[in-house]
Amino acid sequence: MGSGKTALVAALARSLSDERSIAVVTNDIYTTEDAEILRRAAVLPDERITAVETGCCPHTAIRDDITANLDAVEALERDIPGLELVIIESGGDNLTATFSYGLVDRQIFVIDVAGGDKVPRKGGPGITGSDLLVINKTDLAELVHADLAVMAGDAARQRGERPTYLISLAADPKGGPVAEWVRRELRSPACIAVAGR
């Protein structure tokens, strides 16, 4: 069970697709699994979902050699005139996952409470440097003995003024607060990245 990156991408597509022209690029090492999950969920028409098989560490394709992702975004822009938002989901689960700002305009980093309440204080570029930190699966906190107040406090210490949202996509399948954040950030067509642990 992951942090909920694909579930968050699905939630954003559900929330925003009536308002904006949206497409999604997923990244996996050797599969198109995350793209297939989104297609089965029917959150967007199939032609608006594309997959990049990185064939290497997923972080290489989102940070070091972004060519495959740039090509995927450019193909979507060519095929879907008027595209306003492309959401790029990273594969993998690592606190060091960050996107090149040559590829994206904003970065969302997702962790979940099942990793324990120590995760925010571990830091790492995803936690400290992302534009938005999402602590997901708050509905599981009691079950895994995670203290949400500790997580929120540690996140604030690591991030300073950068926002952190504690959410449960099980309780709010449209990711309300995160969708609102994206709306505020969308002043012009943009690429928003979703990475996570």
Q: Domains in the chain, ordered, with CATH?
A: 5-196 (3.40.50.300)
Distance between CA 150 and CA 24 in Å, rounded?
33
Residues of the chain with pLDDT under 50: none
Distance between CA 177 and CA 182 in Å, rounded?
9
Query: 110 to each of 18, 64, 74, 96, 174, how far by Cα in Å?
Result: 24, 21, 26, 12, 15
pLDDT tens profile 24-40: 999 988 889 999 999 99
Contacts of 153 (CB under 8 A, 6+ apart): none
3-state SS assignment for residue 52: strand
pLDDT tens profile 66-79: 999 999 999 999 99
The tokens for 152 are 């929120």
Residue 35 is predicted with a pLDDT of 96
pTM score > 0.75 for this model?
A: yes
